[in-house]
A and B are shown apart, each in its own frame.
Chain A
Amino acid sequence: GENVEQHPSTLSVQEGDSAVIKCTYSDSASNYFPWYKQELGKRPQLIIDIRSNVGEKKDQRIAVTLNKTAKHFSLHITETQPEDSAVYFCAALLGDTGRRALTFGSGTRLQVQP
């Protein structure tokens, strides 16, 4: 079936280092790829998204890259800070025309060590 695979499941970095999380998807027609951050006990919140007509998008310390040919996209966080510690989810818009919906990856628990 259609799915989104996310790696790694856990990631520990030192404060100031970079973190990279990767996702692959199954539907070559997918054209929307958001990333969500979820702090412990809180709701998911959109941090950045990318559409298929661009290859990279940046917002301060966060960037997302998209390779449509290889069907994968990645989240890059530079100069990590302790407050970046959270679970990050990627998602892709998958499904038949007219019934497309977001399918989420299984999440990456990022821990930034002070």
Chain B
Amino acid sequence: NAGVTQTPKFQVLKTGQSMTLQCAQDMNHEYMSWYRQDPGMGLRLIHYSVGAGITDQGEVPNGYNVSRSTTEDFPLRLLSAAPSQTSVYFCASSDRAPEDTQYFGPGTRLTVL
């Protein structure tokens, strides 16, 4: 199993550009989530999904959209990038619920100029 994979590893955007961060898992997990990690802070939840077709907002959803058309994939879209979205983004998955062991992807380091 590859586990949780994320692409790209690094990305530089200009203010106002849009892009999609990809996340995929091959463990047949129902629960998937996106976090952002800023220096000196813990991970903050952006959006999460409890299964295909179901998504919900986390603590910091503004400026981000998600969809879950398949069990395997959970892309995160930045609609109009802002410098405040410069961060490291982690995708995670767990079997059915957030209290199941969460497995993190390797992260995407995003810089918005």
Contacts and interface: CB of A to CB of B under 8 A. Distances in A.
Asked if A and B are interacting partners, one says yes
Contact of A102 (B40, B56, B102): B102
B45 A101 contact: yes
A105 B33 CA distance: 17
Interface in B42-67: 42-45, 48, 56, 58-59
Nearest to B38: A106
Interface in A26-78: 31-32, 34, 42-46, 49, 51
A51 B101 CA distance: 12
Given A101-B33, A105-B42, A43 B107 contact: yes
Interface residues of A, number: 25
Nearest to A41: B107
Interface residues of B, number: 21
A83 B26 CA distance: 30
B15 to A, nearest CB: 26
B36 to A, nearest CB: 11
A8 B90 CA distance: 24
A99 B59 CA distance: 11
Question: Which 3 A-B pairs give the minimum distances between C-beta atoms?
Answer: A104-B42, A32-B99, A43-B104
